[in-house]
Amino acid sequence: MDNQTEVRKFILLGLTSLQGLQKFLFMLFLLLYLFSLLGNMAIMIVVVCEPRLHTPMYFFLCNLSCLDIFFSTVTVPKMLAGFLLGHQGISYTGCLSQLHFFYFLGSSEAFLLAVMAYDRFVAICNPLRYTLIMSPWACLQLAVGTWTTGFLHALMHTVMTSRLHFCGPNHIQHYSCDIKPVVKLACNSSQLNVSLLNIITGSLAIAPFVFILFSYLYIFSFLRLKVQSKEGRRKAFSTCISHLTVVALFYVPVIFNYVPPSSGSSASWTMIATLMYNVVTPVLNPLIYTLRNVEVKRALKRRLFSRE
C-alpha cells in the first residue's frame, strides 16, 4: 500500500452517458426537485401556522416533510450539476459527507414512518388514552429518537467506509456516493462493510416495515370488529391509506436495495430503486397527504385563498 496513490477524488458516472438525454434529465429532475421543495415546505408552513393541526399526527408529518427536503437535497443538486457539466466529480471528503447524510436522513425516514404508524395505532385503537400516551413530551422524544437512531446508523457506515483504502479506479457506478458502488473500488477488503450493510441496514429496513404491517393489520381488524359508525371507519381508513401509500412507495425500493445480498442486483436497477425513494417519493408525499386529507386541504385553502 505504501507505493500506491490514494484516490482523493471520485467520478460519479450518473444515470446515463448519452449526451442527448442530459438536458431532458436536467429539466425533469429540476422540476421534480422544485415540486418536492415547494410541496413539503407548504405542508410545514401550514402545520406550523394552523392551530388546528397542532396534533401528534401533523407534528410527525412536519418531520417527514423536513426529512424529505433534506433527503433529496443531499443528492439532486449534485446530479443536476452533473447533467450541465457532463461529469460529476466529487472529492473524497465530499463523497463521505454525502454518504453520511444520505443514510442519516434515509434511515431516519424509515423509523419515522414506523412512529407514524404507532401514532395511528394509538389514536384508533386506544382513543381515550391517546392524549396521555402521545403527549407533547412523548412526541418530542419519539422524534429525537428517530433522528438520533438514523444519525448513529449513518455514522457507523461513514466510519467503516473511511477505513477503506482507495488506490485504483475512481469511477462510481451511481449518481451518488452509495455504499455498494463505493466499497467495490476499495483496494483492501470490504467484506465487513458489505456484511454490515446486509445485516444492520437490512434489519433496520425490515424491522420497521414488519412493525407497520402488524400495526395496520390490528387497526383494520379493530375497525371491522369494534367500530360501528361508517363515518368513523371512513375517516380512519382515509388516514391509514394515505400513510400506507407513503410506506409502500418508500419501503418497496428500500427493501429491494438492501434486503437481498448487496452484490446480487445490477447497478442500473439499484439506481432506479434509489431514485424512487430518494427523488420520487419526496415529490409524491405532499400530494398524497393533501389530496386524501380534508384537514390539510382546508388549511391550505384558508392560507392560500383567504381574503384576509
**Quick one: cell of 277?**
425513494
Sort 18 into a burial class: Cβ within 10 Å, 0-12 / 13-18 / 19+: exposed
Angle (deg, nearest 10), helices 56-85 and 19-49: 160
Beta strands in the chain (DSSP E): 9-12, 88-91, 171-172
CA distance 253 to 259: 10
> What's the chain's average pLDDT?
86
Q: Which residues of 83-99 are buried (b: 16+ CB within 10 A; e: fewer)?
A: beeeebebebeebbebb
Q: Classify 143 as helix, strand or coil.
A: helix
Is residue 269 pLDDT above 50, yes or no? yes
CA distance 262 to 201: 11
Is residue 284 pLDDT above 70, yes or no? yes
- pLDDT tens figures, 230-254: 776 777 777 788 889 899 999 999 9
Confidence of residue 223 (pLDDT cuts 50, 70, 90): confident
- pLDDT tens figures, 35-74: 999 999 988 988 888 888 889 999 999 999 999 999 999 9
Output the pLDDT for position 265.
59
Output the pLDDT for position 261.
60
% of the chain surpassing 70 pLDDT: 90
Output the pLDDT for position 304.
62
